[in-house]
Structure 1
Amino acid sequence: MTKSPDSSGERAAEAWRSMFEFLMRSAPQRLRTQQEHGLTPNDSRALFSLDEDGRPIGVLAREWGCDPSTATWLVDRLERAELAERIPSPDDRRVKLVRATKKGLETKTVLMAAYHRPPAEMSSLSPRELDELTRICRKLCGR
């Protein structure tokens, strides 16, 4: 028999474990989509932080939680796939900015559409359960 959590912290931990388990079980669906585009999870994460304006590698490295050499390696991978490009900074000619290419922006759109397709398990929920889940997730996202 499963013991029900009795404190708020225990309840939150149980809810998070369940959400995390579901996200991990549905990860292969997202991974397949990335692989169809020749991307790894890290490539995908890096691509999603790029836009058409561009940002310096140092800024990207801090955002990605890695050193600049690792960020350079990731940008190199995205450049080889024609998803990103380095451009000169309009403010400082010594600085190169990294931005998504047209292909990169299109790939982000395709990936996001695939990520937004619900896992099959969600079809087992009733309309009322789906409404409640949506309400809770929106609250967690601050909406």
Structure 2
Amino acid sequence: MTTLPRDAPDLAGEAWRLMFDFLMRSAPQRLEAQQRHELTPNDSRALFLLDAEGKPIGALAREWGCDPSTATWLVDRLERSGLAERIPSPGDRRVKLVRATEKGAATKNDLQAAYRQPPPELTSLPAGDLDALVRILGKLRAG
């Protein structure tokens, strides 16, 4: 019995499902890193979008895909943990900017290092497979 060649959308769908399933299976590794810092996944995501210059709550809400009251709640949580702070805007003292503190920046670095540790399933692949995977994923990054 001959099989018909699959078309690109079918292959892309299968590739995405496999990548997504792998990311979901490896989520406990990322969650463990977050829990070491007493962060939730949403706290972590919010922290990663803060920088040293600061952004108004409204801009953060748009980036985070939530309403301003939810952004305020997230900022309050990060601020209580010492990871973020509110500062006056240099252009308008009525506006408060939210930025990562030194502790917040250090926490982001620690989380990033933990997130970038490859899961065992990945490190056990043969070098040729890893070369192919790096090449393919590099194309997606450039794309």
Give me the TM-score of the superposition, normalised by structure 1: 0.95
Q: Which residue is equivalent to 1:77? A: 77
Letter in 2 for 1:125: L
Letter in 2 for 1:48: F
How far residue 124 of structure 1 moved from its aligned partner, in angstroms, is 2.1
Q: Which residue is equivalent to 2:125? A: 125
After the TM superposition, which residues 4-83 of structure 1 pair with which residues of structure 2 at under 5 Å, given as runs? Answer: 6-83=6-83
Compute the RMSD of aligned alpha carbons.
1.4
Unaligned 5+ runs, structure 1: none
How far residue 93 of structure 1 moved from its aligned partner, in angstroms, is 1.0
Number of corresponding residues? 141
How far residue 4 of structure 1 moved from its aligned partner, in angstroms, is 8.1
How far residue 60 of structure 1 moved from its aligned partner, in angstroms, is 0.3
Q: Contact between 1:83 and 1:100, CA under 8 Å: does it hold in 2?
A: yes
Aligned in 2, Cα 1:57/1:111: closer, same or farther, shift over 3 Å?
same
Q: Distance in 2 between matches of 1:99 and 1:23?
A: 29
Q: Distance in 2 between matches of 1:123 and 1:51?
A: 32
Identity percentage over the alignment? 68
Does the alignment pair 1:86 with 2:86?
A: yes
Q: Which residue is equivalent to 2:98? A: 98
Q: Distance in 2 between matches of 1:139 and 1:7?
A: 20
Aligned in 2, Cα 1:4/1:29: closer, same or farther, shift over 3 Å?
farther
Q: Distance in 2 between matches of 1:14 and 1:97?
A: 43
Q: Which residue is equivalent to 1:111? A: 111
Letter in 1 for 2:104: G
Unaligned 5+ runs, structure 2: none
Q: What are the Cα deviations for residues 49-69 of structure 1, in whole angstroms up to 9, with x where unaligned?
A: 011110000000000000000
Q: Contact between 1:5 and 1:14, CA under 8 Å: does it hold in 2?
A: no
How far residue 30 of structure 1 moved from its aligned partner, in angstroms, is 0.1
